[in-house]
Amino acid sequence: MQLSNSEEQLMQILWKKEKAFMKDLIAAYPEPKPATTTVATLLKRMQDKNFIDYVQFGRSREYFPLVRKKDYFSKQVNGMIKNFFNDSASQFASFFTKESNLSQEELEDLRQLIDEQIKKKKA
């Protein structure tokens, strides 16, 4: 399941904070800050999608993520590779390295990461 752009923005805040009350979430938004009702609606939708949950403290709720940022990002990237690059990681890598204007240092860092993964696969 995916998050909308506004849900994803709120999820980014929650991943960064790890757990937070409504007032903390709203405070973390840039100006203009969303209305409390807007954030409450987003939190409810995200809870329905099993991305977050909360612990009740009196009348306040402390929200926390159920999905790790790494897991969500991995699923998003794999979906993009499947949908836009015919499920081919090499087509994605080719596009990424040609179109993203990487510096020589960044390309060398990528090569080192790839070489390390090749060594792990051979071991």
Mean pLDDT score of the chain, rounded to an integer? Answer: 92
Inform me whether the pLDDT recorded for 115 exceeds 80. yes
- Parallel, antiparallel or unpaired: strands 20-21 and 60-65: antiparallel
Contact (Cβ atoms closer than 8 angstroms) between residue 88 and residue 81: yes
Report the topology of domain 5-65: Arc Repressor Mutant, subunit A (1.10.10)
- Band (pLDDT 50/70/90 cuts) for residue 110 is confident
Mean pLDDT of 48-60: 96
For residues 112 and 117, what is the distance between their CA atoms, to the nearest angstrom?
A: 9
Share of the chain above pLDDT 70, in %: 100
Q: What confidence score (pLDDT) does residue 90 get?
A: 86
Any idea how long the chain is?
123
pTM, two decimal places: 0.75
Residues sharing a CB contact under 8 Å with residue 55, sequence separation 6 or more, in sequence order:
61, 62, 64
Q: Where are the beta strands (DSSP E) in 5-77?
A: 20-21, 52-57, 60-65
Q: Which two tokens stand for residue 46?
A: 């995200």
Residues sharing a CB contact under 8 Å with residue 23, sequence separation 6 or more, in sequence order:
none
For residues 34 and 27, what is the distance between their CA atoms, to the nearest angstrom?
A: 10
